[in-house]
């Protein structure tokens, strides 16, 4: 079925794929993508049979994070990143979510993937938490989930330096996730999904609920802290200038 620019595909009876394919915005957080993701995960939550979700993008893009319009809205104070709760979609999903990041994961797009239960990266693709490149401190729970998933030392570098890292480089840095050629990301995810679906659905849900409970508890505190940092860093004119320059307008 098609849900906006997000496609839901039942690969096998127990496995559903959620594919982001907003080619106009390169899977940035457009209104269409946000709506499609929220609607897709609502449908998954209501489905009585699914055991595993594979979240992926198209071609060389997984997700490229905030749009220029969205970032300027936050800079001007008309919206907050919490208005669209994309960062916790995978975390709040009752069944396991595999982020098959076959393409570039930029800013909030990369962070969104890290909230999944399982993460698979592409050797060729770029991954970055580039918030500070725009002059504002990270949001979307990045200051918690990036250190939690990748380790403090690497996360501090990613968050403060805001550089671009190929999957192959992150693999050399010892990240605890599979990094495979782009054309093998989805097959790898499907094999993992099949292993998960061998287990009873109620047991998968029960164990996930237990494992992510501490993440959910800490996330709410982190989000509040990030919003407070945004009040200090996001509303400067320099940030507005950086956003316009980096988006080429």
Active site residues: 230
Per-residue 3-state assignment (H helix, E strand, C coil) for 102-162:
CCEEECHHHHHHHCCCEEEEECCCEEECCHHHHCCCCCCCHHHHHHHHHCHHHHHHHHHHC
* Cα–Cα distances in angstroms (integers) from residue 153 to residues 76, 148, 156, 173, 232, in the given order: 33, 11, 5, 10, 25
User: Looking at beta carbons, which pairs linking 78-82 to residues 24 or more positions away fall under 8 Å?
Assistant: 80/227, 80/230, 81/108, 81/139, 81/140, 81/226, 81/230, 82/223, 82/227
DSSP 206-246: HHHHHHHHHHHHHHHHHHHHHHHHHHHHTTSHHHHHHHHHH
Structure token digits, residue 11: 């690969």
Structure token digits, residue 159: 């968050």
Q: Which residue from 185, 163, 148, 144 is spatially nearest to 61, judged by alpha carbons?
A: 185
Burial class (CB in 10 A: 0-12, 13-18, 19+), 211: exposed
């Amino acid at each position: 079925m098609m849900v906006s620019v997000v496609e839901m595909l039942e690969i096998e009876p127990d496995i559903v794929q959620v594919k982001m394919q907003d080619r106009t915005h390169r899977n940035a957080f457009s209104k269409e993508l946000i709506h499609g993701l929220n609607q897709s995960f609502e449908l998954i939550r209501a489905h009585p049979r699914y055991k595993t979700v594979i979240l992926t993008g198209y071609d060389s893009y997984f997700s490229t994070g905030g749009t220029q319009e969205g970032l300027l809205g936050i800079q001007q104070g008309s919206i907050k990143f919490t208005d669209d709760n994309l960062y916790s979609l995978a975390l709040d999903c009752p069944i396991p979510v595999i982020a098959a990041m076959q393409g570039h994961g930029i800013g909030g797009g990369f962070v969104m993937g890290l909230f999944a239960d399982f993460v698979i990266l592409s050797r060729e693709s770029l991954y970055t938490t580039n918030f500070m490149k725009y002059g504002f401190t990270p949001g979307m729970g990045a200051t918690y989930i990036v250190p939690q998933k990748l380790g403090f030392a690497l996360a501090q570098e990613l968050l403060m330096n805001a550089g671009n890292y190929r999957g192959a480089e992150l693999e050399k840095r010892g990240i605890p996730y599979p990094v495979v050629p782009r054309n093998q990301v989805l097959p790898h995810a499907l094999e993992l999904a099949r292993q998960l679906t061998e287990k009873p659905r109620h047991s998968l849900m029960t164990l996930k609920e237990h494992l992510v409970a501490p993440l959910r508890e800490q996330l709410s505190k982190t989000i509040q802290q990030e919003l407070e940092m945004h009040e200090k860093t996001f509303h400067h004119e320099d940030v507005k200038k950086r956003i316009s320059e980096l988006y080429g307008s």
